A and B are shown apart, each in its own frame.
Chain A
Amino acid sequence: MDSQILLAIILLPLMGSFITGTLSFFERTEESPKAKSLRSGLIASMAIGLAFVISLYQFYLLSQTQFVSGPVFLKWNLGEWLAFGPLKFSIGLRLDHINSVMCLIITGVGFLIHLFSIGYMDHDRSASRYFSHLNLFCTAMLILVLGDSFPLIFLGWEGVGVCSYLLIGFWYQEKEKQAAALKAFILNRIGDVGFLIGMFLLYKETGSLEWGNLSGQSLSQSSAFWIGLAFFVACTGKSAQIPLFVWLPDAMSGPTPVSALIHAATMVTAGIYLLLRLQGILLLSPDLMMIIAWVAAVTSLMSATIAVTQNDIKKILAYSTVSQLGFMFVAIGVGAFSTALFHVTTHAFFKALLFLGAGSVIHACHGEQNVLKMGGLKKYLPHTYLTMLVGSLALAGIPLTSGFFSKDEILHSIIALPYGGLSLYLVMTVTAGLTAIYSVRLITLTFLGNYRGPTDAQNLPHESGPWMTIPLYVLAGLALFGGWMGAPHIFHLHHTFNAWIGQSLQILELPELGVHWNVSELIPMLISSIIAVSFFWFFAVVFRKFTQLDQWWKGSKVFIQLASSKYLVDEIYHLIIVRPIYMASKFLARVLDRDVIDRSVDASGGLVSKVGGRLRILHSGDLQDYGAMIVILLGLIASTFFL
């Protein structure tokens, strides 16, 4: 059947990974890095590109499939993994409307990032290994979205964790990059424990692990709460929310296209995808929805404040990602599941664009990442400037960009849906304002003003080659125009995104007030437009003159200090969790294992020796002592006959 091609989507990047990996073993070191990068990059890009074409074809097939009743999907079963008695785990792939969108994002944006990487890695001698890991990551991510049961999602979940580890630690010679990779993996593992608990609980309560069967379940509110909470913990790990988000800023140690793919467009959105699959269960527990919304809101606000103070171009974007992910989780928390997916899509466009642009800037400035040492790059990097400006506008939510439509829909849902509230709305609006501030700060400090970097001819920045600029333009186009597929009703346009997703997902009805002008939609839209545009304009001027916020607003010095040191979360975690673990391990090894358990084993042997030592006294070697003993013993035995 046609749906067997689903497997091809997964196998193509896997083969690409295998081929480039084998190439990396056999390449000669004398070959120029540029040739290596081109060769492996083309193979990897073709693999992903073909997967994209097949995803498009599957998308088309899905849109043509009509069923009389029941959900619409394409399915392919791959066989039995483990079975004992009536319990069977089987492997299968299943495509419905939600993961068709995810597939397109992963393969499409992934393809662009692969092309970009051909230019970015042209001076790195391990480029083939890079492309191998990148393709392997895409394989794992595709397994995650295409798997039909939670164990398969878990396979992809851990798989992307491993690939993230390999890619963050790609330049493994430096200690901090090694530490960053380890941190990412371990924090993700903690989340994985949550995933496992959620999966086990789900089976215990419902008896099934396939997400296709979840919609008609009747669960008690408390079991839905615990299942959802366990899975949400997994999401805080993978999608970087409080308390497990601290790996994401450190993950910027990896090559920048990696940050674009993994930490902006795909892996971090796996958490959202997971919660989308659990929609039926989440809706049963309003308490959990509230927890999700508020945890995400606090995360979002906190990381937005940190982003305003950072000076490393990638760290600004990293904290921005955490903040935007918070937006997506808030959307889920208030019940706007399709909006969350919409924001995933637009975020993939503009954040990947921003990261790739940052990569272009870093590549141009020969590895410089500090914005304080950049500035005025507009005249050196015109293409990068233009595309990054578009990305920033989308990020800030300037009207009519893609980011505007999705973010605005979230803000509207917070007010309009019964799960949301006014306080949540205020928090998220403030965050949106901060988003505008840091995005304009990024642009201003990097591209506008005077050039603050080295001026000698060797180190002068130069625009990147076509491999890097063309994907930037494609993404810029998507970031600018991609939002129209989710245009709200007020524009009297068909919300194609919701129409597509609604076939597989339950879209909660937004209360309609009025007929022509939808007031409840218009007011938040106006508010956020005004905030976005005015902040963007105003702070563009501010950051022309000052580089840090506390230089402009003198009263905020303490606050800025706190925020710029990321509220000391890393230090706190190190003190409360990491150090005690190592100290306890030494304690266990020395005191418990060696001194208690082992000594008691030795002591039992020692006891035998001691008793033997005491008994030795009987062996005096003296003949008469032996005689005396015999007599006494005989007397005792004889006396028993008289008893």
Chain B
Amino acid sequence: MNTSNTGVTEQLMISQIMLPYLLPFFILPLLGIIINFFLPKNNGKNFGLAPWIIFISLQAVMLGISAYLHFDFLPALKLTFAAGFKWNWLPSLGIYFDVGIDGLASTFLFFSSLTFLLISLFLGKWFVQEKGRVYLNSFYVVILSVNGTFLSQNLILFYLFWELVLLPILVMVAVYGHKDYRAALMKFFIFTFAGSVAMLSAFIALAVLNYQHFGFWEFDFTSLGRVMALSTPTSVFFMVAFFISFAIKGHVFPFHTWLPQLYEKSPLPVIFLITGVLFNMGAYGFLRFFPNYFLWPMTQTAWGDFFSYLGAFGVVYGAWVALAQTDARRMLAYLSVSHMGYFVMAIFAKNGFALYGSLIQTCVHGLVAVSLLAIFVPLINSETKSEASSSYLLSQWRGLAAKYPWFTTFAFISTMAALALPGTHGFAGEFSILFGSFQEKVGPTLVALVGVVLGALVLLKMFQQLFWGASSEGTSEKNMVVSFSKRYLLAAAISVILTIAIGIYPQPWFAPGQTGLLKFVNTLNLTQR
């Protein structure tokens, strides 16, 4: 990916065109926070519906723009480089506010906007309760940092947004978490931070190498592809540094241990965020940096086999450990670890179709995990003070199918999507990954296929525990009264429709994301079967 085939004036024109499309992703969340300051506080009766409605509308605007960019604008332009705008920040050091979008980023942006909207619809109760303003503001910051991560084209800017997302999580868990949140939160923060430091050191090393070769400081993504004359020892350093940082953020085995502990101690919105969107930042990092000139040759070596097996073992490990869990949150944490294993296996599979599948799988996983988690939303008392401390033990619910048929259908479809049933969106990604990876590396694929069976076992046991049986077998009095708001039913319906629509015809949703991958695959003569 280089910018040499377009002239300077053309680039200026493109940056002027892109400005109104890309700037809203930064301005709108900030606008939301400012508006929140000026709206009257709600105490008691007058629950804050207005801030929530503004929240939803701003998200809908961002979703609309990202959909337009993803489906119409970018395919029409047929660009293979990122189009955007660039403002000065510290030009002598090569640090700019450089924002741009290409096929890969637009896919991630679109799906994360979609997932955010879905999360906001499912969790409406949390936002309109007393002091729900904290959640709203934190969500705005998260949206801002996620958008920034996907859109930034400058490494330091990328790092800024990458770190920024930790703050709102800190706030939400500290204010509304379980009473023993400190250890888990500290572990999450420091673990993720350590990974980011590894990433920052790799960035700076890259810039230093660039300075040594070319004599000026540069932190631009694509230009650093020039730094190709690397000897093997330095390449190993970069690969390990990038792998560790993205693996920690994207909860890949064996760097996943912060996840179950954090889930146990956080309120539900945080769990939704991490499981729906935040791991996508790690996935984006993988897809942006690894299939790139300076790291790809490393994947062809024995390191590639090692990481492939690591991913495959992660699949089996995540599903197997999930089997032993009694707490719903921990079980879903390990299932997420399992799904990320597929992703890692695909990245190192040396196969173009598997790469494409990894893109599909990671975008879809957010939706899948959100619908699985949403099963627990009506079952949990959402009082903001005590929600994280309430029990999520699976054994307290039983026999819900007899009373709540709609709910059961939604839960069953969500479970089937997590199982990767053909016809649901979960299948599109997993199948492509397994298919592509088998063509090149048979061993890891066979290991991952074991995980397919185990994952089915875990999910069906969960479904049966909650919904089948007689309701008198449950241990919770809350078993008897489960209520659903219209907003929840709407969100559930949207989720089901998405599941089936993306499952039956995934190609139109992901085709724009192909352009960058295809060009890369063609240049490096990657196997496309």
Contacts and interface: CB of A to CB of B under 8 A. Distances in A.
Given a CB threshold of 8 Å, the question of whether A touches B is answered with: yes
Interface stretch (B61-69, B284-292, B386-394, B416-424): B416-424
A136 to B, nearest CB: 11
Main secondary structure of the interface of B (DSSP, over half): helix
Given A84-B518, A169-B468, A178-B468, A162 B416 contact: yes
A605 to B, nearest CB: 7
B421 A80 contact: no
A366 interface: no
Contact of A158 (B190, B422, B432, B445): B422
Interface of A: 21, 24-25, 79-87, 129, 151, 154-155, 158-159, 162, 165, 169, 172-173, 175, 178, 181-182, 185-186, 189-190, 192-193, 196-197, 199-201, 203-204, 207, 581-582, 584-586, 588-590, 592-593, 597-598, 601-602, 605
A72 to B, nearest CB: 29
A81 B507 contact: yes
B428 A186 contact: no
Interface string B491-529: 000000000000011110011001001100110000011
A196 B437 CA distance: 12
Given A24-B405, A193-B449, A597-B254, A186 B521 contact: no
B179 interface: no
Interface stretch (B76-84, B275-283, B456-464): B456-464
Contacts of A80: 505, 507
B324 interface: yes
A11 B360 CA distance: 28
Nearest to B439: A204
Contacts of A204: 438-439, 529
Interface string B420-454: 01110000100110110011000001100110111
A200 B521 CA distance: 21
B453 A193 contact: yes
Nearest to B508: A80
B207 interface: no
12 contacts: A84-B432, A84-B514, A84-B518, A185-B456, A189-B456, A196-B452, A197-B449, A200-B438, A200-B439, A204-B529, A588-B320, A598-B261
Nearest to A583: B324
Contacts of A586: 324
A186 B457 CA distance: 7
B461 A87 contact: no
A525 B500 CA distance: 52
Contact of B405 (A25, A79, A169, A602): A25
B324 A588 contact: yes
A82 B434 contact: no
A590 B321 CA distance: 9
Q: What are the nearest 6 A-B pairs in CB distance? A: A172-B468, A589-B324, A200-B438, A585-B323, A85-B528, A155-B422
B222 interface: no
B424 to A, nearest CB: 10
A585 B434 contact: no
Contact of B406 (A25, A87, A129): A25
Interface residues of B, number: 63
Contacts of B261: 598
Contacts of B511: 83
Contact of A83 (B257, B324, B450, B507): B507
B321 A186 contact: no
Nearest to B518: A85
A581 B323 contact: yes
Contacts of B457: 182, 186
Nearest to B422: A155
B506 A81 contact: yes
A159 B503 CA distance: 13
A85 B461 CA distance: 39
**A86, A129, A158 — which one has the most chain B CB atoms within 10 A of its CB?**
A158
A578 to B, nearest CB: 10
B257 A597 contact: yes
A254 to B, nearest CB: 14
B52 interface: no
Contacts of A581: 320, 323, 454
B176 to A, nearest CB: 25
B434 A158 contact: no
Given A87-B528, A597-B254, A186 B456 contact: yes
A88 B438 CA distance: 17
B324 A158 contact: no
B357 to A, nearest CB: 8
Contact of A182 (B449, B450, B461): B461
Given A172-B401, A182-B461, A204-B438, A87 B529 contact: yes
B353 A173 contact: no
B470 interface: yes
B439 A203 contact: yes
A347 B386 CA distance: 61
Given A24-B405, A82-B428, A87-B353, A186 B518 contact: no
A196 B435 CA distance: 8
Given A79-B505, A200-B434, A204-B438, A182 B460 contact: yes
A95 to B, nearest CB: 21
Contacts of B257: 593, 597-598, 601
B177 interface: no
A584 B320 contact: yes
B499 to A, nearest CB: 14
A585 B452 contact: no
Contacts of B439: 200, 203-204
Interface string B312-336: 0000010011011100000000000
A173 B398 CA distance: 10
A123 to B, nearest CB: 17
Given A85-B352, A190-B453, A200-B439, 11 more contacts: A84-B353, A84-B528, A158-B421, A159-B422, A169-B468, A172-B468, A178-B464, A189-B453, A203-B529, A588-B321, A601-B191
Contact of B529 (A173, A197, A207): A207
Contacts of A593: 257, 321
B505 A86 contact: no
Contacts of B506: 81-82
Nearest to A185: B460
A585 B323 CA distance: 6
Contacts of A590: 324
Given A175-B469, A178-B469, A185-B456, A582 B507 contact: no
A291 B470 CA distance: 45
A19 B405 CA distance: 15
Nearest to A193: B449
A196 B449 contact: yes
Contacts of A193: 449-450, 452-453
Given A85-B528, A173-B399, A185-B460, A589 B422 contact: no
A402 B151 CA distance: 69
B86 interface: no
B400 to A, nearest CB: 11
B187 interface: yes
Given A85-B518, A162-B421, A601-B191, A182 B507 contact: no
B198 to A, nearest CB: 13
B238 interface: no
Contact of A82 (B432, B449, B468): B432
Given A203-B439, A207-B529, A585 B321 contact: yes
B243 interface: no
- Pick from A24, A154, A172, A175 the residue with the most CB of B within 10 Å: A172
A317 B428 CA distance: 38
B356 interface: yes
A173 B528 contact: no
